[in-house]
Structure 1
Amino acid sequence: MELSTRYLGLTLRNPLVAAASPLSQTVDGVRRLADAGVGAVVLYSLFEEQLRREAEQNARAAEAGTESFAESLSYFPHAADVDHGPRRYLSLLERAAGAVSVPVIGSLNGITPGSWARYARSMQDSGAAAIELNIYYLPADPQICGRGVEQRHLDILAWVKDAVTVPVAVKLSPYFSATGEMARRLDEAGADGLVLFNRFLQPDIDPETLKVVRTVSLSTAAEIRLPLTWIALLRGRVGASLAATTGVESAAELTKYLLAGADVVMTASALLRHGPEHAAVLLDGLCEWMRRKGYATIEEVRGLLAIPVGADETSRERWDYVNALSEANSTDYGPW
């Protein structure tokens, strides 16, 4: 069975990619993921807030040093006095990239210009095979217009693309007024890949304690349909690689995403829930399905159920919607 595929111009041994998660916070964790069979590993995200904190600490250190001696513009405090989050990250990236044979992709998470470009270049220099820009931005201010949100994504992409030569993917949320146009604009702006989709934190409310409950929940297979739809719609309409993420629990979801047209399928929740070794279970299930259906390569599978280029996507989606509602209305759900 031939599972090799291409993503971001990289050749991967298979289309299953370990998404950014706590599993990749150590070299041993990255090695376990690679040993389990994934085609690539996205390192856990380096957050903009960490970069900002480091910059503020360095600025305070430089200012404090000017009171001591004139040459103190290059002064920094003792290593024990600063947060080494970004430096630890780059060190881990370098060691992880050298420890496994699969590509290791660096991940930057943020919403403002900050030091994205500089740290993206540092990731490249530390051995990252590619950079994933996780633009986690919920425009809660009602004064912010949609075009402004879109331009922010394009600006961040441009800054990073100018700083690195390795491929750059953009991880998007699904909440644009015209997701297809946003994907096309990012594609035209030079995005090497699009990762669909990011999941926003959705707080709950505890009516007994009268508190907001903020927890990160793992995705379930029920969440696959939105990214599945957009993968099928975008296949063949953008030149960027398409990475599917969210809702991968079993080999069934992996297979569905490939049929829709994904170049790779990312998962974090399933690997966190069942352990890194679950990657082998997903891949074995994919191979078994391919054998049963008579497919020998991933290329024979990819995009079989994507919406054909040239089709009227809007009319098709509307038709499917009306038919689905008609069937639901005629279904006997039993006594109410």
Structure 2
Amino acid sequence: MDLTTRYMGLQLKNPLVASASPLTGELDSLKRLEDAGAAALILPSLFQEEIEAETARYEHLTSAHDDSWPEGLSNFPKLPETQHGPHQYLELVRRARQAAGVPVIASLNGVSNEGWTTYARQLQQAGAHGLELNIYFIPADLTSTGRDVEQRYLDILRSLRAAVSIPVAIKLSPYFSSVGNMALALQDAGADALVLFNRFYQPDLDLTRLQVLTDLKLSEPSEIRLPLLWLAVLSGRTRASLAASTGVASADEVVKYLLVGADVVMTTSSLLRRGPGHMATLLAGLQEWLDAREFNSLEQVRGIMSQCKLRDPQAFERANYIKILHGYRAPDRS
């Protein structure tokens, strides 16, 4: 069975990728994921504001009494350079690159143009095979236009493309007014891959304490439908690799994503729920599905149910929406 896959220019042994999570932040669990069949590993995001806040706190503590008590600073522990700033993350990249036999992709979340490009260069120098841009931006400024938001993504990507030579993937937001057009614009701006979609974490409310909750909710299989739709629409219409993300719990979701044209399928929530060994279950389930239908390779399957290959392409458009509404039958409650 040939499961080999190309993603953002990298050759992978299969289409299953362990996406960014606490599991990919430790060498032990990285190795367990690889042993279970992960074909690529995406490290947790490096957050620019966290690094700069940490550095600012240390500088504030060490400089607060420069004039009034200079001799006291000799008693203040001077942190080694490797214990603050991006150095710990860069060391994770180096060690993961040395330990893993599969591609290691760094994830970056910046807040300024200088931050994006500076850290991107450092991640490339540390040995990352590729870079995933985690542009987590909520346009809460009511004066921002849709064009402003789109331009922000394009400007970041173009700056990164000028700064590094390794492949670059970008996590796409599902909230653009024209997802397809934005995908093509990102492709033309230099994206080697598009990840559908970046899962923005929305807050909830605690009605007892009247507080905003920021707890993490893992994804569910029911969330597969939105990325499934857009992967089906984009497959065969973009040069960029397509990565499916969100809602993967079993091999069923993996197969569905591949059928509509995903080059790779990423999972985080299922691995956090069931451990790194669940990657082997997903891989075995995919192989069983292919074997049962006598497929010899992924290329016989990938994209055969994308919009451009269906006899009825309107199945992914408005006509199917009308059919769904007309076909609904309320449950019998008599």
TM-score by length of structure 1 reads 0.90
* Match in the other structure for 1:130: 130
- Partner SS, residue 317 of structure 2: helix
Counterpart amino acid of residue 78 in structure 1? K
Name the residue aligned to 1:260: 260
Cα distance in 2 for partners of 1:258, 1:276 equals 21
Partner of 2:196: 196
Q: Go from structure 1 to structure 2 and tell me whether the alpha carbon gap of 1:313 and 1:178 turns closer, same or farther (over 3 Å shift).
A: farther
Q: Which residue of 2 aligns with 1:70?
A: none
Deviation per CA, 1:171-214, whole angstroms, max 9, x where unpaired? 01100011111101000111000000011111111212222211
Structure 2 residue aligned with 1:219: 219
Whole-angstrom CA distance in 1 between matches of 2:63 and 2:8: 43
Figure out how many residues of one structure are paired with residues of the other and give that number.
Answer: 325
- Secondary structure of the 1:212 match is strand
CA distance in 1, matches of 2:246, 2:196: 8
* AA partner of residue 306 (structure 2): A
1:319 is matched with: 319
3-state SS of 1:166 partner: coil
Within 1, Cα distance between the matches of 2:149 and 2:313? 25
**Is it true that 1:41 corresponds to 2:45 in the alignment?**
no
Report the Cα offset of residue 112 of structure 1: 3.5
Question: Which stretch shifts more, 210-219 or 35-44?
Answer: 210-219
- Displacement after TM superposition at 1:296 (Å): 0.9
Q: Residue 333 of structure 2 corresponds to which residue in structure 1?
A: 335
Identity of aligned residues (%): 51
In the superposition, relative to structure 1, how do residues 171 and 247 fare at CA in structure 2: closer, same or farther (>3 Å)? same
Q: Which residue of 2 aligns with 1:164?
A: 164
Asked if the contact 1:51–1:115 (Cα under 8 Å) also holds between the matched residues in 2, the reply is no
TM-score (norm 2): 0.91
Structure 2 unaligned residues grouped into runs of 5+: 68-76
The answer on whether the counterparts of 1:45 and 1:106 sit within 8 Å (CA) in structure 2 is yes
How do residues 135-150 of structure 1 correspond to structure 2 at under 5 angstroms?
135-150=135-150
Task: Give the deviation of 1:163 after TM superposition.
Answer: 0.9
1: distance between equivalents of 2:142 and 2:171? 23
CA distance in structure 2 between the aligned counterparts of 1:316 and 1:120, rounded to whole angstroms: 37
Contact 2:104 2:129 in 1 (8 A): yes
Segment drifting more, 117-126 vs 50-59:
50-59
Q: 1:235 is aligned with what amino acid?
A: S
Task: After TM superposition, list the pairs within 5 Å mapping 1:18-167 onto structure 2.
Answer: 18-53=18-53, 56=56, 78-79=78-79, 84-167=84-167
3-state SS of the aligned residue for 1:142? coil
Contact 2:14–2:39, Cα closer than 8 Å, also in 1: yes
User: Cα gap change, 1:78/1:175 in structure 2, threshold over 3 Å: closer, same or farther?
Assistant: same
Cα distance change, pair 311–61 in 1 and its aligned pair in 2 (3 A): farther
Secondary structure in structure 1 of the residue aligned to 2:306: coil
Deviation of 1:309 after TM superposition, in Å, equals 6.8
Distance in 1 (CA, whole Å) between partners of 2:312 and 2:174 is 21
Shift, 1:315, TM fit: 8.7
Specify the code of the residue in structure 1 equivalent to 2:332: G
State the Cα distance separating 1:114 from its structure 2 match.
4.0
Contact 1:111 1:136 in 2 (8 A): no
Question: Residues of 2 paired with 1:57 and 1:209: CA distance?
Answer: 30
For the residues of structure 1 that align with 2:53 and 2:114, how far apart are their CA atoms?
11
Q: Could you tell me how far 1:12 is from its partner in structure 2?
A: 0.3
- Counterpart in the other structure of 1:175: 175
CA separation of 1:124/1:321 partners in 2, compared to 1, >3 Å: closer, same or farther? Answer: same
RMSD value over aligned CA atoms? 2.5
Q: 1:316/1:218 Cα in 2 relative to 1: closer, same or farther (>3 Å)?
A: closer
The answer to whether the 8 Å contact 1:224/1:247 transfers is yes
Hey, what does 2:74 align to over in structure 1? none
Report Cα offsets for 1:82-139 as digits up to 9, x if no partner.
9625110000110011001000000002344241111111111111000000101111
User: Which runs of no fewer than 5 residues in structure 1 stay unpaired?
Assistant: 68-76
CA distance in 1, matches of 2:58, 2:32: 35
Distance 1:58 1:82, change over 3 A: farther
